[in-house]
Structure 1
Amino acid sequence: MDRYDIAIVGAGIAGASLAAAVAPHASVLLIEAEDRPGYHSTGRSAAFWSESYGGAGVQPLTTASGSALHDGGFLKPLGALHIGRAEDEEAIHAFLAAFDGTGISLAAVDPATLVPGLRADWTLGVLEASCEYIDVAALHADCLSRARRAGAQLMLSAPLRSAERVANGWQVEAGALSVTATVLVNAAGAWADRVAAIAGVVPIGIRAYRRTVAQLRVNSTLPERMPMVVDIAGRFYFKPEGAGRLWLSPHDETLVVPRDVAPEEIDVAMAIDRFEQVVDWRVAAVEHKWAGLRSFAPDRLPVYGFDSAVPGFFWCAGQGGFGIQTAPAAAALAAALLLERAPDPMVAAIDPAAYAPGRFRPLA
């Protein structure tokens, strides 16, 4: 029976980036249930890096990841424009207050100067100039490649069947595999609670939600540098994709049982209805539509660290829709905890206690 220092369940961005960070220091097996990694969430991301996305609790991880993403060539300029109507003024003020002192550049602007055809009632705007596109596929592939070069093994089509504590760690059965590992890492995204239950660990309450995106072709000429447009009330966002095309989402979060999800026609229709209340552009065609999974812990912050009740079980989950934009820093933080080493300078100023799984366990 093969033995590894670390077995990571899940080869999406969470598992892949963590494997890349720890493989130079330990023997790693990356276990993926699907026949290709990143199938459910990572491969269906809306693909942007926004320091405000996910809220103030996530922002330190996003900001800390910026340099690594830039240096790797995974980002390119986009910008985000947060818009609202008169009744959203309080939400605009709360948004600005949440990030006051963080160093994020947020500037009040007239949104009509940045979005031609914007309807007259959308009078409030905040520009987040630092927002950028992420090349998700390249980032994920780079993480997997770095992990492999450091000796990590990737096993596809290997759903976790059992995981039992043994004297020297874990005995793991996944697909046709039977291996032992000192540490079992739960990076299973929407399936994180299910993996915990299989391993005899009390689930945290991570839930899966469906998010819908449609690619539209519009009969309007979009500005060459139009930013992503985000409703301050969380009802939609859309971002340009070149040549009169854009990606549109109703910003939906529909609670689902973890599975391979597909877009619902009503969600696409709702997105288009909301979109047509924002701009006077005509939708010429819905060219493509898809849905992906997002998974959140109860407090909507990610979970990194050893389980407080079960030795050798490590959580790397609950990354919502911000797992890609935080991947470099999240992996560095989790790797320091997992390997019990000093943190990388990238994350040395970030307190990992905010993300510890013990926050969901009752005090003894």
Structure 2
Amino acid sequence: MLSGKSILLIIGGGIAGYKSLDLIRRLRERGATVTPVLTRAAQQFVTPLSVAALSGQKVYTDLFDLTDEAEMGHIQLSRSADLIVVAPATADLMGKVAGGLADDLASTLLMATDTPVLMAPAMNVRMYLHPAVQRNLAALKSDGVRFTGPNEGDMACGEYGPGRMSEVPEIVAAVENALAAGPLAGKRILVTSGPTHEPIDPVRYIANRSSGAQGTAIARAMSGMGADVVFVTGPADVAPPEGVQVIKVQSAREMLSAVQGALPADAAIFAAAVADWRVKSESGSKIKKVAGALPTLEFEENPDILATVSKLKTGRPGLVVGFAAETDDVIDHATAKRERKGCDWIVANDVSPETGIMGGSENAVTLISAEGAETWPRMGKQDVANRLAHKVAEALG
């Protein structure tokens, strides 16, 4: 709950601004005080009167309002909250902050604050994917700004893709996580999850058997302990947890790119079951079945995401954790993998069919580090995740 917490809510100018009204209501239901700031563009989508009625607070709109400056200057306003939430965070507003510009009340507040900031981006898919916006996003993450979303979905403009603002319950969960006083508060944790799909043709692909349940549980556990979690997931069966930044990918190459874009991080947990190989030449059309003849597929190696991050000379996370799904000689193979990849820990498990672990609700793991092997009893995947999260918190101090 958010009892006693003060939130400064900056509402940017986008059609998603209508969600801010429900966001105010839900934050207040949880005991938070919400002080609203509307940009000039935001007032084209929601009115100061409706925002004031729902928040029960004065609405701030003008940087040069003499009365506001006399009662509470913008510097004090920016520092009196426990958290600043920007929802929707438009491309314009993100660009101003990333570039160090402050030409209105909202951008000035964000530039003048030492309070944690959480942004919920919302914009057209092409705008979100534009290189300039992606550069600004990376710069803001590097500066310590937290993010929730954007989600992938239908846009008000009729297009589909990433850029849709997180739903209100997701933003509320992100707010609660940002204000959580857990042992991982202030830490940025990268978690990968699920399988990858490596296309053969438009209808066939190579994949590993993974539901994404363990990776999702890990992200949920890290977030629950106060971490700012970036969750990079392949096409998993399990829905991603709320309150974390979700990046959806398909292939190993897409996952590597997403991981690199999510750095820097204090720790990286690579729980995804990444396909080791892909077809060298993907067919642009469906390969037809021909009687008496079998297609010949030539393979090539996928990038080794764990090794790539583990061996970074600059920007390497302080703790890198890999997973080893083995069917025999589990500890020996996992120990060799840790040394070969250069990671700090390996979480090894036996995924032989008779264990029922792959795709099941339980796991039995051995944590392998430089100090040796620590075997845990079989338990639910969320319990495994919680135990691993505590270990990570201890390691990061």
The structure that is helix-richer by fraction is: 2
Fold-level match, TM-score > 0.5? no
The structure that is strand-richer by fraction is: 1
TM-score, structure 2 length as denominator? 0.27
* Higher relative contact order (CA closer than 8 Å, sequence separation 6+): 1
TM-score, structure 1 length as denominator? 0.29
Indicate the structure (1 or 2) with the bigger Cα radius of gyration.
2
